[in-house]
Amino acid sequence: MYNIVLFGPPGAGKGTQSEKLIEKYGLTHLSTGDLFRKHLGEGTELGVLAKKYMNEGRLVPDEVVIGMVEDKINETKNSTHGYIFDGFPRTTAQAEALDKMLAIHNLAISGMVALDVPQDVLKARIKERGKTSNRVDDQDEDKINTRIKVYLDETLPVADYYKKQNKLSKINGVGEIDQIFHSITSVINSYS
Ligand code: ADP
């Protein structure tokens, strides 16, 4: 059973690589961004709450995100071969909460795979995605800049959290999708 944190800034390619990893390893994809967008689309109470944060490129409050992830783990834990966490944890508090909720089920994070992509490439990718993604947060330069700033200020420390546990592997996130995928699978195959 693998429980993988796929990490990287907005536009790093986490969603693209997650799809391929799910297919290869039969894992459950737990993308907090996707879950929030689903709630938004369905107009649930959670969706209404998350909307203002998402559309501005700010983080949804920790307790809201953590509660949503807890529900998803409880729903799926008996039928899964493991998880790919995508877009979560995004703060150190979320990382600590994740360790605790996994421990309850006798589970732990196998490792974090961090995709490394320079800022100019990120911005270009997000703008390109904005043409078709229908995401308000992909279409505006200020919002893109806010997301990158939030990543640097609040999310980057999460990599240190896993580094301290000897669970961090960095991968070059620029290049052919299949080449990057291959690098990620090499890391995952090294997990015991
Ligand atoms: P990105 O392409 O920026 O990585 P995501 O699809 O992962 O986007 O997330 C979109 C938005 O959803 C974020 O900008 C944020 O508002 C909210 N969000 C997603 N995951 C989290 C999280 N773990 N903590 C707080 N907010 C989150």
Which residue, 9, 1, 5, 2, is CA-closest to 124? 9
Does a structural domain hold residue 118? yes
What's the mean pLDDT in 79-83?
94
CATH number (domain holding residue 123): 3.40.50.300
Which residue, 141, 137, 170, 140, is CA-closest to 60? 137
The confidence score (pLDDT) of residue 89 equals 98
Q: DSSP secondary-structure letter at 131?
A: T
The dihedral of CA 167, 190, 178, 108: what is its sign? Answer: negative
Has residue 134 got a pLDDT over 90?
no
User: What is the signed CA dihedral for 24, 28, 34, 35, rounded to 10 degrees?
Assistant: 170
Nearest atom (ligand 1) to Cα of 150: 14
The confidence score (pLDDT) of residue 64 equals 97
Does a structural domain hold residue 111? yes
How far, in Å, from the CA of 37 to the mean position of ligand 1? Answer: 9
Q: What is the pTM of this model?
A: 0.95
Q: CA 20 → CA 70, 88, 141, distances in Å?
A: 24, 18, 29
Does a structural domain hold residue 189? no
Pocket of ligand 1, candidates 7, 19, 31, 32: which has the most ligand atoms within 8 Å of its Cβ, to mutate? Answer: 32
Sole residue written with tokens 């089920």: 105
C-alpha neighbours within 13 Å on the C-beta side of residue 26 = 4
The confidence score (pLDDT) of residue 36 equals 97
How far, in Å, from the CA of 157 to the mean position of ligand 1? Answer: 16
Does a structural domain hold residue 191? no
Does a structural domain hold residue 152? yes
The total number of structural domains that make up the chain: 1
Query: Does the beta carbon of 2 sit less than 6 angstroms from any atom of ligand 1?
Result: no
Tens-digit pLDDT profile for residues 102-130: 999 999 999 999 999 999 999 999 999 99
- Which residues span the domain enclosing 86? 2-184
Confidence of residue 138 (pLDDT cuts 50, 70, 90): very high
Does a structural domain hold residue 192? no
Nearest atom (ligand 1) to Cα of 61: 25
* Catalytic residue IDs: 14, 90, 129, 135, 147
Does a structural domain hold residue 138? yes
Tens-digit pLDDT profile for residues 1-58: 899 999 999 999 999 999 999 999 999 999 999 999 999 999 999 999 999 999 999 9
Does a structural domain hold residue 155? yes
Sole residue written with tokens 């995605």: 129
SS3 of residue 42 by DSSP:
helix
Which residue, 32, 145, 35, 29, is CA-closest to 87? 32
